[in-house]
Amino acid sequence: MPLSLTQANEAVAAALRKAEELNVLISIAVCDEGGHLVAFSRMDGAGWAGVYGAQGKAVASAATGAPSGRIPPDIPVMLRINELAGDRMIYAQGASPIRIGGRVVGAIGTGGATAEQDEACAAAGAEAIMKAHG
């Protein structure tokens, strides 16, 4: 079952709630398992660079099924996968895979805060989907 727009928007909403709780301004990208953007949100006042960070982290997480900050970018196979994906992957902390029924259906990435805050916001988004949809 592919990640739906409704589910992606639920992940965005949960990440936004976490960002508000942490008092940070972020951009949030949700992509499907192929790294294609499904939903995106940028909080008012969030910096422009977070737009790219959020998307790149989400793509890296979807490609590997791992949080983006735990993926070593210098492994030859990862370098090649990133090259084939159009150099769209960012391996920095701040993205979590989204699993439904144990299968990776996409990922959520955030950018604009500290690495730890980005990670917490992304994790909140992914967890919301996994709790609601299994």
Residue 35: what residue type? G
- CA–CA distances in Å: residue 83 to residues 25, 33, 97: 30, 17, 21
Distance CA 103, CA 60 (A): 16
- Say what the pLDDT of residue 10 is: 97
- Say what the pLDDT of residue 68 is: 82
CATH of the domain at 37: 3.30.450.150
- Say what the pLDDT of residue 64 is: 87
Domain range for 81 is 5-133
CA geometry: angle at 29 spanning 99 and 82, to 5°? 80
Q: Taking the CB of residue 15, how many other CB atoms lie within 10 A of it? A: 32
- CA–CA distances in Å: residue 65 to residues 13, 46, 76: 22, 27, 18
Low-confidence residues in the chain, pLDDT < 50: none
- Say what the pLDDT of residue 73 is: 67
- Say what the pLDDT of residue 67 is: 87
- Say what the pLDDT of residue 5 is: 97
> In this structure, are residues 53 and 112 in contact, taking their beta carbons and an 8 Å threshold?
yes
> In this structure, are residues 44 and 27 in contact, taking their beta carbons and an 8 Å threshold?
no
Q: What is the 3-state secondary structure (H, E, C) of 66-81?
A: CCHHHCCCCCHHHHHH
The domain tally of the chain equals: 1
Distance CA 45, CA 23 (A): 12
